[in-house]
Amino acid sequence: MTTSNKLTDLSIKKSLPADRPYKLSDGGGLFLLVHSNGSRYWRMAYRFAGKQKLLALGVYPGVSLAAARQKREDARSQIAQGIDPCVAKKDQEAVEKNTFVKVAAEWMEYKKVSRFSERHADRVWRSLEQDVFPYLGHLPVAEISTKQIAAVIKNGSFVFKLTASG
């Protein structure tokens, strides 16, 4: 399926808000949705498993025309592989939200209930805040490598010790 790139940066910049939202099509399912308040959203219409779907690709100008076209091609590649881009996007967002800080907080709640005294829990948490979170806290757990953990341990001045069962 060929894609005709109909939009230009100039035509997007010249698009004005109207009484009702309208679409500026680029081809291949990609379009820019222009809202009445002037905001512009990239969307891609596609079919998957016999159903019509709509994928949000970002907000213009944060996502440029070239970036939106690349996202369209990435989504089309996923569809060709039998992957629903909407589902893949939601899965990726879930992975990215599962940061080390979030997992550590859940672990700490479990430990407070099951094993740690309040005082010990506070010491452990302060140590995590000082020694670990600045390096690993923002990272998705699935992306943290053994090498990164080893570097934190090597450089850290931990005030707590975990037992093998901890």
Domain ranges of the chain: 9-94, 100-155
Topology adopted by domain 9-94:
Double Stranded RNA Binding Domain (3.30.160)
pLDDT tens, position by position, 45-102: 999 999 999 999 999 999 999 999 999 999 999 999 999 999 999 988 887 788 999 9
The single-letter code of the amino acid at 32 is: L
Q: Does residue 31 contact residue 13 with C-beta atoms inside 8 Å?
A: no
Q: Of 40, 1, 49, 48, which Cα lies nearest the Cα of 17?
A: 40
Per-residue model confidence (pLDDT) at position 1: 54
Both tokens of residue 152?
Answer: 């934190």
Alpha-carbon gap, residue 120 to 161, rounded angstroms: 10
Alpha-carbon gap, residue 50 to 91, rounded angstroms: 21
pLDDT band at 28 (very low <50, low <70, confident <90, very high): very high
Mean pLDDT (whole number) for 21-36: 96
Per-residue model confidence (pLDDT) at position 72: 97
| pTM assigned to the model | 0.63
The DSSP element (H or E) to which 27 belongs, if any, is strand 22-27
pLDDT tens, position by position, 99-135: 999 999 988 888 887 788 888 888 889 989 988 999 8
The yes-or-no verdict on residue 162 having pLDDT over 60 is no
